[in-house]
Structure 1
Amino acid sequence: FPPGKVPAIDWDPATTEAEQPRHPFAARAKDTVADTATPGVCGLQNLGNTCFMNAALQCLSHCGLLTAFFLSGNFVADINTKNPLGHNGELAKQYAKLLRKLWSGHYNALAPREFRIALATFCPLLQDMGQHDTQEFLMTLLDGLHEDLNLVQDKPYITEELESNGCADDVLASQAWRQYLLRNQSFIVDTFQGQLKSTIRCNRCDNVSVTFDPVTFFTLPAQTAMDLYVVIPVYFRSRDYDEPLIKFSCRILRTASLIDLQSCVAHQANIPRDCVAVRDIFQGRVFCAFDRDETVDVIRVNDEIFGYELMEAPPGPEPKDRPPASPPVDGEKVLVTFTQFNPEHQRILVPMIFVLDRHISTRQLYAFINAHLPSPLRCNVLPQAGQVTEESPGSTANSNVPLTEECTEELPGPEDYPFSIMLVNKESVPCDMTGRLSKQGTCLDDRQLSVHAWCRLSLRPGMHGIMLGIKWHTAPDDGAFLSLVDDESVAKNEQWIKQSSKNTQLTLKDCWDSFIEEEQLGENDMWYCNRCKEHRAAFKRLQVFRAPRILIIHLKRFQYTGSYRRKIESHVDYPLEGLDLAPYIAQSLPRGQQAIYDLFGITHHLGTSIEFGHYTATVKHANTDEWYHYDDSDATLCTEADVHPASSAYLLFYRLRD
């Protein structure tokens, strides 16, 4: 029979499967026998959320190279019963048995119980009755078949790591492929696997590392630019409060962390990243102080994000093993947020954030705040204020001492300033200044703030530092704090949004272009540079180096960022014939050789959730070249015009043209 076509077989429909009455997959669904049916056109009964399996099996069934290999019986000679990673050939035998029934021409629909039971036996993840991802299922199946048919009887232990070290790509790629074949040789490898070139470049010293790895699925981003990126406006407050607020516009990946947003602000402000504090400000108070590892999807559309320049990097979190009553240590710093209030205790303007000495006195605190106000609001206090010296570090604070305790030093007091500093609770509401601090947390508890009279503070930070209040005796004009100028990034990203909003459809070429585009690794995916001897946020690029005979393209339609899950519904226009992979192959093809592929299978995901969606398949018959649509047990003839690109396409199966 011609290459890529499926041979005719003999099958007795009276053959029955071994009954497995106690297994959940053995009940209900039955084979549907047909008087006459087209070999290869046969539905698969849903055994309980098995549409993910059925859709993938229909596409794989019409991979003529693989099906002919199994139906001819050639696979039997390759079964490896000694491979501890294999299944003693049982998975391969059950798959061959399923193919024989599918291609017998005696069934309208099959209940693939024995195959499902065999697969669940060898793959614990598939033992439940839940929905699974069809790509993950197919990866598991191909890997299982590979290990059952692996020709390598004794796998050598390989410790050598191949280094590029200026070696030519073709030489290094050949070495990597030969090394891979020392442990992996099978019909699955020959048919489905190619090779990827990965290039990583240090963002600091331009050191380059090149590696070559086997690949079965080419996972291409299926997102438009608007799906991939989010634009976040950030109002930047310089440490010089005479400077206006600057509105930055940060365009970053939706999967980026708050560290990445912090880095973006620091880059645009040209300051160190650790000297930037990012806060969500709502109605004059800090609504949210983000954790560094949170992703930017926690930021909502209407949130107002502020970036504060700090004079120095804030301290890390309080050590968990520190006793609650331990005294402060000289030189320790704390991050202090000041919410501003008018005389009626209503929040106004935006908070101020500073890094301060943990053992600062209140007199020093007043002088510090006054010195950092916009110049129109500063007042000239008595000369003694500039002569303040640090108190002895030996005097520790007691959280039970009233705030009204008298100070023995004759120095400027709060009345010399146009504002008062207050305690606030965790919701930025002023506390009663005449009482003692609560130990129950109605105001910041004794682990976060304790005060010893007017002379000295001992600041104990919570998760995001100290929160205090500034109450103005006369409310200042908004312009003193809120004058605003736009950075050039604002207009640039407004234009990007306008342009990107027009491009809501993708071609498969767009997906391939995104796949090979160089990207910068995130803060949580740092690469160790052996030249810098440090982990760096390097640049990475992927390219095809060895093209497979059967090309499986996985359109990445599901986005996971923390607790946020989202399906990408982009419409991707893919060719039915003549997909040219040459532009994405890193090496030049030999003279006369092409990398042209034709489509023969598509799995579709219907629905908005991977947990509750439904899978179907559209497949080109391996022998007749007719297109059929499969929805579990239903098989329907369709025309080529019906095989139009859709937002539901999830896996694309292409065969290399002879």
Structure 2
Amino acid sequence: MTANSRCSAAKPPGLETQRREIESLLRECELRAGDSWYVVEHRWFEQWKEFVETGDQNSSSFPGQIDNTELFEDLDSYHLKERLVENEDFVLVPAEAWHKLLAWYGMVDGQPPLERKVVDLPSTLKVEVYPVEIFLCLHSNMENVTTAQFSRADNIQSIQRAMCQAFSVPPGSECRLWMKSSDSNCERLRNIHVSVLDACLSSGMVRTNSSDQDSYRGQPGVCGLTNLGNTCFMNSALQCLSNTPPLTEYFLQSSYLEELNFTNPLGMKGEIAEAYADVIKQMWSGRHYSVVPRVFKTKVGHFASQFLGYQQHDSQELLSFLLDGLHEDLNRVKNKEYIELRDADGRPDQEVAEEAWRNHRRRNDSVIVDTFHGLFKSTLVCPECHKVSVTFDPFCYLSVPLPVSKERVMEVFFVSLDPYAKPVQHRVVVPKAGKVSDLCSALSEMTNVPPTQMVVADVFNHRFYKIYTTDESLSWSVLHDDELHRPAPYVAIDWDPEMKKRFYNENEAEKYVKHASMEVPQQQTTVQLQECIELFTTVETLEEENPWYCPVCKKHQLATKKLDLWSLPEVLIIHLKRFSYTKFTREKLDSIVDFPLSGEPPSRYDLIAVSNHYGGLRDGHYTSYAKNKDNGQWYYFDDSKVTYAREDQIVTNAAYVLFYHRQDKIRKPTLPAPNTSPASSTQPANDITSCKDDGAASYVTMETD
């Protein structure tokens, strides 16, 4: 360990003592508003855990100094990367645990500790990993802008103090603060005692006084949604629902006002429905090129704490919560009666299905049920006595699997024992559930080096992070040298420049050779939507964790189960399960699913919207395609930006959630489609929404007398 750490490391206690002390603090420390916690890079922390678990002070898994390099966007500003995920990119440790680790191991020179406060958000306490970033300027000099970070628990007065100090405002001066969000809306911040959280999330869809917005007249529904900070998932889901005709017409006609259920214990006191209605009415007024859904975001976070804050989430999960919340807020059944379910007992399927639907409607009756609910037929067969159980269950959307390949491609570097040979990059095909020995065998065929002579290592920061045994499974982290060209820490050679030039060539050391396998283009897998639906309805055997109780055998059985689609709703939502999780692998499936835009019999459905996800497992970006109900034109929605779209652009490997409308319920467009050329698909459809969208960042301007 070098001495150039930010904090000199003290002689640490034994490894078992370290492990016991830190684990105890992590286990027993509770979140309390105002307390400090610290962000630590996940990989470093995992290596520390492995080190202390070995009990060997000389182990090769020694983690070195605390190093958060991988968390920073750059090493000049030390801004955190966007969309970092807890327990995948970083871990949070309480202050006492942090100070112990810092004393024992020190910290890489120059890096600031990542201290974060616990904030008291509505209905929950959270460590605020990403503080609010606000741009500050004086009204008299809008060109001089400075950036500052504030906790959501801070009040507006703390912003005022910071601005007075930053801009040398004389004490006693009368000040007025204005918040200008990224779409140029302005709002007076009158109450200096309100929190940053409430101030940033209470203004909702503020109408600007600018001449652009006053004079704007656009196509209703062709309206962007401002990204409040990692809220593209929410915007994508909202655009799809906004372009679902029966639901949108229900809200535009204010039919919801007569059906708000304020007493439903499963509902949200009508608040979700009212907030959603406000968004829809703004989007379909034709007076806004972009809407800021702050109030809606606040309501969602209040009733579903998983959506609090500004971390990335899943558009389908938000959609599921929203449909359920709208249903309960608009449920026409005020008092749900108890209904005793009867067994099928050999009765005809049609009779049992009608009974199941009647029972469902006796407890659940809303516009959501009218529009989105259908019926599954579920058939269970006991493997022992062959008892057949048939039930009919309602559904709101289909989550269909994608066919998964049993193999995957890995890119690895082969480093020969020959010191003059350059590393060679190979692309090999291995079983997804394979072992390290499978990787060695595949590489052996390309290199003619026996697998027994290979050592497999995971390289991180130019160091051996881990050396694998041949019987270990092939995890996704194996052989991911994401820091191949970064200088190795902890090693320094002090030699004469001429000697260095003679024996070491930096340019040559960084070079590697690509094997012919790297030049072979990877095939893009294409599957039909029908294949996914057939896979969804395939007979499967129940897992041991979820057995079925057979009423004949009087015990739990691993029965076979088959789902069939019995009756389909007016609007059919199909969720493509692109995120695959098994005990061996975690991956996002980028296969192209070829789905129809208009249905021939027997499907009888037309596509009306698509939620897209671009990116990988841990991060990404959501957009949507949607068809306007009034003019029949397709549009591409990317947060506040809206562009024209063509039908041949819609089927991509990013398609994630599909919305289909039954043909016999579709109302023909009342307006002619706009004249669009192929080039116009990249042009803004709402005139002004191509302007820069700065996410959650707001400007606060100060007027002084």
TM-score (norm 2): 0.49
| Aligned pair partner of 1:656 in 659, 662, 670 | 662
Letter in 2 for 1:48: G
* CA distance 1:579–1:542, change in 2 (3 Å): farther
Aligned CA distance change for structure 1 residues 538 and 133 (closer, same or farther; 3 Å): same
SS across alignment from 1:106 = coil
Aligned pairs for 1:201-280 (under 5 A) are: 201-224=381-404, 226=405
Alignment of 1:422-501 (within 5 A): none
Identity %: 41
1:87 Cα deviation after fit: 2.0
The one of 94, 98, 110 aligned to 2:279: 98
Aligned residue in 1 for 2:632: 625
The answer to whether structure 1 residue 64 and structure 2 residue 245 are counterparts is: yes
Residues 598, 656 of structure 1: 8 Å contact kept: yes
Structure 1 residue 125: deviation in Å?
A: 1.9
For 1:434-583, what aligned pairs fall within 5 Å after superposition?
504-562=525-583, 564-578=585-599, 580=601, 582=602
Cα offset, 1:298, TM superposition: 6.1
Q: Which residue of 1 aligns with 2:236?
A: 55
Whole-Å Cα distance in 2 between the matches of residues 17 and 512 of structure 1? Answer: 53
Q: 1:42 aligns with which of 203, 217, 223?
A: 223
Which of the residues 625, 642, 652 maps onto 2:649?
Answer: 642
Separation (CA, whole Å) in 2 of partners of 1:100 and 1:27: 16
Structure 1 503/634 Cα, relative in aligned 2: closer, same or farther at 3 Å? closer
1:602 shift after superposition: 0.2
Taking the aligned partners of 1:553 and 1:102, their CA distance within structure 2 comes to 25
Query: Is the 2:524–2:591 Cα contact (8 Å) retained in structure 1?
Result: no
1:390 equivalent in structure 2? none
Evaluate the alpha carbon distance shift between residue 560 and residue 77 of structure 1 in structure 2; reply closer, same or farther with a 3 A threshold.
same
Aligned-pair distance for 1:528? Answer: 2.4
* Distance in 2, Cα, partners of 1:15 & 1:95: 23
Q: How many residues align?
A: 369
Paired with 1:199 and 1:555, the residues of 2 have a C-alpha distance of 23
Q: Shift of residue 112 of structure 1? A: 0.5
CA distance 1:126–1:17, shift in 2 (3 Å): farther
Give me the whole-angstrom Cα distance separating, in 1, the residues matched to 2:584 and 2:257. 46
Question: 1:636 deviation in Å?
Answer: 0.5
Which residue identity does 2:558 align to in structure 1?
A
| Residues 31 and 111, structure 1, Cα contact 8 Å, conserved in 2 | no
Runs of 4+, deviation exceeding 4 Å: 13-21, 26-32, 296-299
- Secondary structure of the residue aligned to 1:182 is helix
Paired letter, 2:652: A
Out of 299, 303, 308, the position equivalent to 1:122 is 303
Counterpart of 1:170, as a letter, is: Q
CA contact 2:613–2:621 (8 Å) conserved in 1: yes
C-alpha distance after superposition, 1:600-646 (max 9, x if no partner): 0000111111x312110011111111011011111001122222x11
Distance 1:172 1:128 in 2: 45
TM-superposition CA deviations, 1:160-211 (whole Å, max 9, x none): 2331221211111111111112211111101110011111112233221111
SS of alignment partner, residue 289 of structure 2: strand
2:328 alignment partner, SS class: helix
Q: Is the 8 A contact 2:400 2:576 kept in 1?
A: yes
**1:77 aligned onto 2:84:** no
Residue 116 (structure 1) shift? 1.1
d(CA) in 2 for partners of 1:17, 1:96: 25
The one-letter amino acid of 2:568's match is A
Indicate the SS of the match to 2:657: strand
Distance 1:31 1:42, change over 3 A: farther
Q: Secondary structure at the match of 2:636?
A: strand
What is the rounded CA distance, in whole Å, between the counterparts of 1:17 and 1:66 in structure 2?
35
Counterpart residue number, 1:162: 342
3-state secondary structure, aligned to 2:556: strand
Q: Deviations over 1:412-441 (max 9, x none)?
A: xxxxxxxxxxxxxxx9xxxxxxxxxxxxxx
* Structure 2 counterpart of 1:634, one-letter code: K
Tell me how far apart the structure 1 counterparts of residues 387 and 435 of structure 2 sit (CA, whole Å).
38
Matched, 1:176 2:356: yes
Q: Report 1:295-310 matches (<5 A).
A: 299-300=434-435, 302=437
Matches of 1:639 and 1:18, distance apart in 2 = 43
In the alignment, which residue of structure 2 is the partner of 1:436? none
Mapped contact 1:223–1:557 kept (Cα < 8 A): no
Please say if residues 433 and 584 of structure 2, whose CA atoms lie closer than 8 Å, have aligned partners that are also in contact: no
Task: State the alpha-carbon separation in 2 of the partners of residues 216 and 560 from structure 1.
Answer: 23
Paired residue secondary structure (1:302)? helix
SS of alignment partner, residue 545 of structure 1: strand
- In structure 1, C-alpha distance between the alignment counterparts of 2:242 and 2:328, rounded to whole Å: 19
CA positional deviation for 1:561: 2.0
1:140-155 aligned at under 5 Å gives the runs: 140-155=321-336
Task: Describe the SS at the equivalent of 1:22.
Answer: helix
Q: After superposition, what is the alpha-carbon deviation per residue over 1:256-286, rounded to whole angstroms, capped at 9, x for unaligned? A: xxxxxxxxxxxxxxxxxxxxxxxxxxxxxxx
Instruction: Give the aligned residue type for 2:598.
Output: E
Deviations 1:432-489 (A, max 9, x none): xxxxxxxxxxxxxxxxxxxxxxxxxxxxxxxxxxxxxxxxxxxxxxxxxxxxxxxxxx
The code of the aligned residue for 1:71 comes to L
Whether 1:599 aligns to 2:620 is no
In the alignment, the residues of structure 1 paired with residue 635 and residue 433 of structure 2 have an alpha-carbon distance, to the nearest angstrom, of 43
- TM-superposed CA distance for 1:120, in Å, is 1.6
* SS of equivalent residue, structure 2 residue 319: helix
Counterparts of 2:203 and 2:267, CA distance in 1: 28
SS of the equivalent of 1:196 reads strand
- Report SS of the residue matched to 2:363: coil
Report if aligned partners of 1:629, 1:636 keep a CA contact under 8 Å in 2: yes
Q: Which amino acid aligns with 1:129?
A: Y
Gaps of 5+ in 1: 1-12, 231-295, 305-346, 348-426, 428-500, 583-594
Give the partner amino acid of 1:155: K
Aligned to 2:292: 111
Give yes or no for contact 1:162–1:176 (8 Å, CA) kept in 2.
Answer: no
In structure 2, the CA distance between the partners of 1:22 and 1:563, relative to structure 1 (3 Å rule), is: farther
Structure-to-structure mapping, 1:358-437, within 5 angstroms: none
TM-score by length of 1: 0.52
For residue 87 of structure 1, the aligned residue among 268, 273, 287 is 268
Residues 200 and 210, structure 1, Cα contact 8 Å, conserved in 2? yes
How far apart, CA to CA, are the structure 1 residues paired with 2:221 and 2:188? 20
Q: Which amino acid aligns with 1:91?
A: I
> Which letter maps to 1:650?
Y
Following TM superposition, by how much is the alpha carbon of 1:119 offset from its aligned partner in structure 2, in angstroms? 1.8
How many Å separate the matches in 1 of 2:436 and 2:547?
29
- Give the whole-Å Cα distance in 2 for the aligned partners of 1:177 and 1:603: 29
Alpha-carbon contact 1:17-1:114 (below 8 Å) kept: no
Query: How many angstroms apart in 1 are the aligned matches of 2:548 and 2:202?
Result: 49
Inter-CA distance 533–630: structure 2 relative to 1 (3 Å threshold): same
Q: How far apart, in 1, do the equivalents of 2:275 and 2:573 lie? A: 23
Distance, in Å, in 1 between the alignment partners of 2:241 and 2:579 is: 23
Distance 1:209 1:39, change over 3 A: same
Q: Tell me what 1:608 maps to.
A: 616
